[in-house]
Amino acid sequence: MDTAAELNRFLRGLCAALDVDAEVVTSLGDLGTEAAIYRPDQKTIFVSRERMDFGIVWSISTEASQKRRHPSAQGAIRSLAALLAPSKPAGRVLFASDRGLEA
């Protein structure tokens, strides 16, 4: 997932999953991949995914907001979902008791 094409695919898919109309443009930066999500309301969201010494760091920002950094895709997804589709209901996973699944 180091390529711009892969990040583009992921972000386009996320927009589709959230039912958000947007154009995604990605490029390779110095430290990793960068993307801009252009929405019809002209608000642009900037995303970067960089490999640091301690792991992957996602950065999310808009023209009007400070950069938010996330150490995992999960945090980035939550942050992006809040920006892209704030009224969309989000789910929280529950894990059933650990009894092992026989089959």
Partner 1 sequence: MKRVPISVLTGFLGSGKTTILSSLLKRPELGRTAVIINEFGEVGLDHQLIETSEEDLISLTTGCLCCVAQGDLSRTVGDLLARRRLGQISFEQIIVETTGLADPIPILQSFLTDPVLAEGVMLKRVITTLDAVLGEETLKRREEARRQAACADGIIITKSDLADACATEQIVGNIHALNSVAEVKVASFGEIDPMFLLSNTDTRNRDHNWSEHSHIHGHTDVITLRRSEPVHAAALPLFFEALAEVYGPRLLRVKGLVQIVEVPDTPGVIHGVQNIFHPLGWLDTWPNKETGTSLTLIGEDLSLEFSDALLSLLNEEVSLAKELNTAPN
Q: Which long-range CB contacts under 8 A does 41-47 form with residues at least 24 apart? A: 45/80, 45/83, 45/84, 47/7, 47/11, 47/76, 47/80
Residue 64 or 94 having the CB closest to partner 1? 94
Least Cβ distance, residue 2 to partner 1 (angstroms)? 8
Least Cβ distance, residue 92 to partner 1 (angstroms)? 6
Residue 14 or 45 having the CB closest to partner 1? 14
For the chain, the straight-line distance linking the first and the last C-alpha, in angstroms and rounded, comes to 34
Least Cβ distance, residue 83 to partner 1 (angstroms)? 13
